[in-house]
Structure 1
Amino acid sequence: MHASILKYFIEVASCGSVRKASERLYVAASAINRQIHKLEDELGVELFDRLPNGLRLNPAGERLLKHAQETLHQFQVMRTELDALRGERTGHVKVAAMDSFFEELLPSAVEEFLQIFPAVTYTITSTQPMEVPQLVMSGQADVGLCFVSRLPGGVKAVSLADLPIGIVMPPGHPLAKHDKVALKDCAPYPFLRSSSHPVISASLSAEFAAFWDDMEPAATCNSTPLLKRLIMGGKGISCFSKIAFIDELRRGELLWRPFALPALDHLQVGIVVPTQRALPHVTQNFVGRMARRLTQLEMAAAAL
């Protein structure tokens, strides 16, 4: 049995839902469902009880789950041993990223990488968007994830995604009636600020930087999970891209509207690497896998 089929099966068993497995794997639900049915056809037995609220492993599925987990584990051990002979599967990956990437993309990327490169170690730092390129330039990080509107010399973006910032709000908020939100429209409502420093530079939009500096926030907090809970609790609105809110936007628990500010319409996020030094093989591999996930994230955001 192909490793990807086993991976899909394990994820569906863990989530109890093809849809949830699809969201975690960034693979179309129809593709996962098709592979599960193919697996059942090959084995000649159903693996799940189909319930109104999801899927539950039956005894045959539980037996296969144990086999699949053992098989993939042994396969990864074997790959690690073979590649260790070539010195390609050890190393240390240093990442600096703005906090939004810690909600889904980075955890999923590291989780996937650990399955394939279990001997690799990590230093992962959460920081403000405009600080990320400096950390990559200085060598404190090998890879950065941030907005890439103005990159200094010494770094370059190797993967880009259109994920502009906008206003995140709870359902039913008055601003939800707007197709685009003007900065002045935000003034009557409590604002939750992720940092005392603007999330983008004044060189990109002096108007937005002035708005950020002049506001009187209801709260300033650099934790995206906490801000997300405050927004969902109706305590205020905030300024984010869709990066950290895909699941909540998909479920309708939160809404997102773009700013009526042309300078922000095409704001991109990207993966940033140094130009003056070569990255180790294992770090290059990690970058490639993150790039694929960033593209999937962009597609998911565009569909909302």
Structure 2
Amino acid sequence: VLTAAGSIVVEHCRKTLYDFEQLRAVVDDIRSARSGHIQLMVIDSAALGLLPDVLSEFSADYPGVTYSVTTGQPDEIVDAVAEGAVDIGLSFSNENHPSIRSMFEKAAPIGAVMRSDHPLAERAELTIGDLENYLLVRSIDGRGHHSLLDEAIAGATASLSTKVFTDSLPIAKKTIEGGQVIGLYTKLGFRDEIDAGALRYLPVANDFLKSLSVGILISAKRSLSPMEHMLATQIGKALTRVQLDY
């Protein structure tokens, strides 16, 4: 008959053995994952400014894995992840959703993107009112054909003039580079041009725009597979390396 202490030792051994078997099963899953398919849906700035390098590095380590990558507006990405249509989303992560969990959040305020020779380019920060006399380009919200900016400027007295609504970042970038408009975006899709000095990013003095963050969105109803989790982690590490807030 086991003493009380002996029973504790036996139970501890059983739990340790169980944990070991669970860990070995996960390791076996990873080792056997020579192939597989991962579905991602991301905002277009991430599709241009972050994801290609991540997928290139990940594919070098796991050449048998294939991907479906689509772009969408924030509400579309949330819905796709919540409904299980995609495995991983990358989007703004400020909106709470009962079926979504967020990983690796990164501050990503929306600011003004313009040519470096624009009259406003030497300012340290802009207000919504500063943009009133300039034409803008901004993204389209999937539901109402407006952008996140509508929430930010709902109470503003300034009247903004948008020349181009687009869900295409390359189109937005070309119009900004042509000097026709100021863009209202995060830095994520413009980092190369900003680093090269061709474009300038200026923060906008607005609490909502400054509070925005991007993150990896996953379902709260199911666990990621080991391969999906490794990819999500690698995307998260890439996010932590980029400077998006000012």
| Larger relative contact order (CA 8 Å, sep ≥ 6) | 2
- Residue from 183, 200, 207 that aligns with 2:148: 200
Cα–Cα, structure 1 residues 124 and 141, in superposed 2: closer, same or farther, change >3 Å? same
CA distance in 2, matches of 1:137, 1:173: 42
TM-score by length of 2: 0.80
CA distance in 2, matches of 1:201, 1:262: 12
Q: SS state of the match for residue 172, structure 1?
A: coil
1:76 counterpart residue number: none
Shift of 1:163: 1.4
CA distance in 1, matches of 2:189, 2:86: 22
Contact 2:152 / 2:208 at 8 angstroms: preserved in 1? no
CA distance in 2, matches of 1:241, 1:227: 12
Residue by residue over 1:18-49, the C-alpha shift from the partner in whole angstroms, topping out at 9 and shown as x without a partner, is xxxxxxxxxxxxxxxxxxxxxxxxxxxxxxxx
Q: Which runs of 4+ in 1 moved over 6 A?
A: none
Q: SS state of the match for residue 56, structure 2?
A: helix
Cα–Cα, structure 1 residues 85 and 225, in superposed 2: closer, same or farther, change >3 Å? closer
Please say which structure displays the higher CA radius of gyration: 2
RMSD: 2.3
The percentage of counterpart residues that share the same residue type is 30
Contact 2:100 / 2:219 at 8 angstroms: preserved in 1? yes
For residues 85-164 of structure 1, the aligned pairs below 5 Å read 86-164=31-109
Q: Aligned AA for 1:200?
A: L
Aligned residues: 215
CA distance in 1, matches of 2:239, 2:172: 23
TM-score by length of 1: 0.65
Q: Aligned AA for 1:270?
A: G
Contact 1:133 / 1:151 at 8 angstroms: preserved in 2? no
Residue by residue over 1:193-213, the C-alpha shift from the partner in whole angstroms, topping out at 9 and shown as x without a partner, is 2226344386xxx342577xx
Q: SS state of the match for residue 51, structure 2?
A: helix
Shift of 1:216: 4.1
Structure 2: state its 5+ residue gaps: 1-27
Structure 1: state its 5+ residue gaps: 1-82
